[in-house]
Amino acid sequence: MPTLRNPALAPGFRMSDLITDGRRVWHMAAVGYTKGDPSKVDVVTVGEIGGPAGPLDADGLIPAGQIPGGGGGGGGGVSIGGDLGGTTSSPQVIATHLSSPLPLIQGGTGGGSASAARTSLGLGGAALLDVGTATGTVAAGDDSRLTNARTPTAHASSHAAGGSDAVTPASIGAATDHGYNPADYGLLAWVGDPGYLAGAVAVPAGIVHLMKIKIPKAMTITNLVFYMANSITLTSGQNFAAVFDTSGTRLGITADQSSNWATAGSKVCALTSPAAVSAGFVYAAILFNGSSPPQMGRYGQNTIYDNASIGSLVRFGQYGSGLTAMPTSLTMGSMTANSTAAFWAGAS
């Protein structure tokens, strides 16, 4: 250590006394009284109490090289802890990653790889596809191909009765009706099963005879069908069949049937224009004029059961007298129950 000449000290100064000015520590290490004033200490040494002995700098300060480093790192720096080790000048990473994937509940993906993360998040293969319209892409929300794509299409008209691929009770596993239906006879609707006809009876001339037909659903009627039991002589231009709705409006009419009705058999009478009808009821009407009356197929005697009213209108009625042409409309309040018979009629 360097030897410094100590300034004057007061008499009686003890050799073990210490003096500090905050940064300098003076240690009276060796004192000898020689020549001169006995109040002066001849020699002092300088150092740090409890620290390494060594020379101070010119200002009496401990050089940085003599300051020991922190406990954990190398000398000349401050030690650091936590996930880092070493010193500020030479840090070392201790913890590089988690030992297991961070679960979803803690904000992680739950997977240790991209594939595992997609599986954990339930993304599937779609997460790897581009947005586009080609094969192997996912569709955007405004993709024009998706416009109205889920709107059900209308039920095909061909599935209706009489259509090219009609839906039947048997085709859908529904219970079948063991009785006969109009479709069994190639018809759309009828007054009733012709198998129950009791015979034929002469039709009075000049009167519109009406037979009520139940229409189960909207349909288009092209023909009216009757049964004539005999050959007859008719007046040309005065024999017609027609369709009326329950308000009395005529929906369709045939051409003159004088030739068609002249012989016996099942008579198909074509309307001049098809008649579109709604579900409910319509009337098939027939008007005859000639020198000998036709005999039409009929049900049993016209009892109250044969001609029971449905609503305010009878099933079998008659209208007018002395007519030679089919009316364009009927006053339904003027229709009366048929006093002759309950004639059969069908529609196709």
Is 180 exposed, middle or buried, given 0-12, 13-18 or 19+ CB atoms closer than 10 A?
middle
Q: DSSP readout, 268-332?
A: EEEEEEEEEE-SEEEEEEEE--BSS--EEEE-SS--TTTT--BTTB-SEEEE-SS-SS--SB--G
Q: Amino acid identity, residue 165?
A: D
With contact defined as beta carbons under 8 Å apart, do 208 and 316 qualify?
no
The pLDDT of residue 215: 95
With contact defined as beta carbons under 8 Å apart, do 239 and 294 qualify?
no
Quickly count: other Cβ atoms within 10 Å of residue 291's Cβ.
9
Domains of the chain: 1-63 (no CATH), 183-347 (2.60.120)
Beta-carbon contacts of 148 under 8 Å, excluding residues fewer than 6 positions away, are: none
Q: Are strands 18-20 and 25-27 parallel, antiparallel or unpaired?
A: antiparallel
The pLDDT of residue 281: 95
Q: 236 is written with which tokens? A: 């040309």
The pLDDT of residue 187: 96
Quickly count: other Cβ atoms within 10 Å of residue 209's Cβ.
24
Tens-binned pLDDT, residue by residue, of the chain (348 aa): 444 444 544 454 444 444 444 444 444 444 444 444 544 444 444 444 445 456 666 666 666 666 655 444 444 455 555 666 677 677 776 666 666 777 766 767 767 677 777 777 777 777 777 888 888 787 887 777 776 656 666 777 788 776 778 877 777 777 666 788 999 999 999 999 998 888 898 999 999 999 999 999 999 999 999 999 999 999 999 999 999 999 999 999 999 999 999 999 999 999 999 999 999 999 999 999 999 888 999 887 654 455 555 556 788 999 999 999 999 999 999 998 887 888 999 999
The pLDDT of residue 98: 64
- State how far the alpha carbon of 63 is from the alpha carbons of 79, 154, 237, in Å: 20, 98, 141
The pLDDT of residue 176: 66
List the beta strands (DSSP E) in the chain.
3-4, 18-20, 25-27, 44-46, 84-86, 91-93, 189-190, 199-202, 208-215, 219-228, 240-245, 250-253, 265-277, 280-287, 295-298, 316-319, 336-337, 346-347
| 3, β-bridge pairs | 45
The pLDDT of residue 207: 96
